[in-house]
Structure 1
């Protein structure tokens, strides 16, 4: 690294200026650019050149027209204007840890440099978290509020469904602790629309279907955040809305979510609900939906220790995926062979079959991106579990350590819950250096 300072670097006193600081935290770059020009005499042409933005676009933004919500562009602006990462919801930027020539790097700089490979994942996760918290939600357009007497057109449910699909992408990089309020807000907004708006029967059914989908999304986030009572309530509300909408696929999925939540507390009830979820969706459901529900049924059987029924359910899921029935798959059921493979690996781990679990899990995880930090840490926990069952203690310790690294800072209770019993088992082998290291990492 060098000590190069771009011509657009904001002076320290301007970064501490109350108005500028508020604009930065809010990602309000119209105000940031205006203040940079007015108070630091940094021209729009310089900002455009250093931030790789067209000059006319900078002027448009400075007039308050439009927003910048792209992670890559915000990261570029942070570097060009020398805005510390934490003000934008980003991890520290490279230049923040740079040192002058001839000086040894500090301990924190050395740590940053050795973890640079994973820093982009952290940066993106922090950006998405900041965007969701600021209400930006990836630049989604705001919907016009529905007044009590307003007629809701037939196109509104589809607009809401597309919006819900885009919001679902937040779950790829954030935990439920970060997304729950966003998803819950969408659910309540649609409930208000149903209660206060005016619409045809067909549109009303479509709105109820969207409401069911949003309730499942919010329920999943609540479950991920450890809010189990909220999750159950939302899943039940989802099932009711889907039933009223005559959307059997969504009704079955609501039951599958309930089964997944209940399986640890009451395995018999969990299996019964999972079986009901498959029958509710029925043979006419899209192939991807049936595969998803049979996969969750397999998990219910595996958690109960029933290997034969687990295999039957996995076979049913695979058969469904092989079908090309031409029915469009709903976005919420975007399940493919990868989803089935990871579910199979989890099931065989739960059934203490490491010879079947390890190859499946390792193959999947070898190309699963670290951006999906929560899910990858969870899947790694099942791999570590299987290695423990196989007596490969040091390999289990190494994988557990990687899972701990990925789950750090993720707003989800599930990774640590999954890793807790594994760490407990590893304590019996704490004389091994690899195990001692991961136990120390867990304590830290």
Structure 2
């Protein structure tokens, strides 16, 4: 709706349902999560809608679903006064999981990269099922490489083209680490569709083709990661699986396993701990011949994260020990550039998350302190995550004042992050300290968060 008049329809339906601003916000977040999406709706956002502010189409659908569930009858966005809200976009028709052919993969990627920028906040589209994910992993594990061949075409691809893609990948990866997935995803999608996909259908020698598909798979992985970071999990799934399929062309097992590890990370974030553990194990098993110690360290760390979330203390401890042993040999092999972020601070940070999820706050605090100290500022989002884990550890160890100070610093330093994941860290911490909301420091933090969110949404 474009009018700034109060939204009386929404107010009436909320009153009928007996839903408070906070209660509706919680139900909207839950509805989004059922669709594999994450929205940062708070009672402040609900009040803005009541006052007549606009709303994203996807969020309007979640509001309608939440109130429909509460009332036991169907409610549409129009019933709630959200006029002019278009239907949420649908992911393009195509291969739901792992493509049988390269042509299908390129067709699916072409469709994905045509999605409108306004649809990037999660769309309710279905996540891939466990069966689809397991089938994709098995297909990748056992399929023979497609290989590349020198075929005649009007456009001839050279190594200069491949280097341009690698340079762009490095730039977008740096943007992602510094400012979150929201800053570069739209531009990256446009670049991939108009600059990368045409090259994959052009002419190239075997040497150039091998390098080209490696570069294309890597930038597809970055597309998946940025979609994940902005909360568009269904889209991220499809980018990851399409990138995995591209690695099959040239049998790049290491990059394929890296994509599986990223899918494990996402599954753990969504609470799919069994899937997360399977994907991490597949990453470890899938590239034994090509794996470097650094790669195995992060794969094992992701397995530890999944097992920690599942409260498997013995399994998580074993995986953390494995990750530590692998990382001790990280300097003994040459790694691809996309593993450069896997330094000691990254592994320590993963361990801090593990101990937090295992409800061992003293150890989580110790590792989080080290991670914050050692994390390179170029990994600003990672530093923000570690600061929020540190704040949780400080709070659980009885230091409310120091915890709020740490969280406040994280919000200050992370105010430019367009990352749904960082927002969730902050919201989780706010819920943990909600019993102390009347204290001046907590109240000041909450006000700072509201202001930062409003500035990002402008």
User: TM-score, normalised to structure 2's length?
Assistant: 0.61
Deviations 1:354-392 (A, max 9, x none): 111112211231354656443322211111122232232
Does residue 333 of structure 1 match 2:345? Answer: no
CA contact under 8 A between 1:377 and 1:406: conserved in structure 2? yes
Query: In 2, distance between residues paired with 1:405 and 1:287?
Result: 36
How far is the alpha carbon of 1:155 from its aligned partner? 5.6
Does residue 308 of structure 1 match 2:319? Answer: no
Q: Residue 311 and residue 338 in structure 1: after superposition, are their counterparts in 2 closer, same or farther (change >3 A)?
A: same
Which of 228, 231, 236 aligns to 1:226? It is: 231
Query: In 2, distance between residues paired with 1:351 and 1:389?
Result: 13
CA contact under 8 A between 2:394 and 2:403: conserved in structure 1? yes
Name which of structure 1's ranges 256-265 and 238-247 shifts more when overlaid on structure 2: 256-265
Which of 317, 320, 324 aligns to 2:323? It is: 317
CA contact under 8 A between 1:283 and 1:290: conserved in structure 2? no
CA contact under 8 A between 2:258 and 2:283: conserved in structure 1? yes
Query: In 1, distance between residues paired with 2:235 and 2:297?
Result: 27
Paired position in structure 2 for 1:160:
165
CA contact under 8 A between 1:381 and 1:418: conserved in structure 2? yes
How far is the alpha carbon of 1:246 from its aligned partner? 0.1
Does residue 242 of structure 1 match 2:247? Answer: yes
Unaligned stretches of 5+ residues in structure 1: 1-146
Does residue 295 of structure 1 match 2:301? Answer: yes
Name which of structure 1's ranges 320-329 and 201-210 shifts more when overlaid on structure 2: 320-329
CA contact under 8 A between 1:354 and 1:386: conserved in structure 2? yes
CA contact under 8 A between 1:208 and 1:244: conserved in structure 2? yes
Deviations 1:38-85 (A, max 9, x none): xxxxxxxxxxxxxxxxxxxxxxxxxxxxxxxxxxxxxxxxxxxxxxxx
Q: Residue 193 and residue 303 in structure 1: after superposition, are their counterparts in 2 closer, same or farther (change >3 A)?
A: same
Query: In 1, distance between residues paired with 2:260 and 2:439?
Result: 45
How far is the alpha carbon of 1:266 from its aligned partner? 1.8
How far is the alpha carbon of 1:194 from its aligned partner? 0.8
Query: In 2, distance between residues paired with 1:372 and 1:257?
Result: 17
Paired position in structure 2 for 1:270:
276
Larger Rg: 1
**What RMSD over aligned residues (CA atoms) do the two structures have, in Å?**
2.3
Paired position in structure 2 for 1:10:
none
How far is the alpha carbon of 1:154 from its aligned partner? 4.8
Query: In 1, distance between residues paired with 2:259 and 2:376?
Result: 28
Does residue 259 of structure 1 match 2:272? Answer: no
Query: In 2, distance between residues paired with 1:163 and 1:441?
Result: 35
Unaligned stretches of 5+ residues in structure 2: 1-151, 452-458
How far is the alpha carbon of 1:221 from its aligned partner? 1.0
Deviations 1:141-169 (A, max 9, x none): xxxxxx95122235643453344234422
CA contact under 8 A between 2:253 and 2:290: conserved in structure 1? no
CA contact under 8 A between 1:291 and 1:316: conserved in structure 2? yes
User: TM-score, normalised to structure 1's length?
Assistant: 0.62
Deviations 1:289-328 (A, max 9, x none): 1112112221111222222222222222222222267532
Structure number with higher relative contact order (C-alpha < 8 Å, ≥ 6 residues apart): 2
Query: In 2, distance between residues paired with 1:369 and 1:150?
Result: 42
Which of 406, 418, 429 aligns to 2:425? It is: 418
Q: Output aligned runs, 1:40-439, within 5 Å.
A: 149-154=154-159, 156-188=161-193, 189-195=195-201, 197-263=202-268, 264-282=270-288, 284-323=290-329, 326-334=332-340, 335-368=342-375, 372-439=379-446
CA contact under 8 A between 2:244 and 2:256: conserved in structure 1? yes
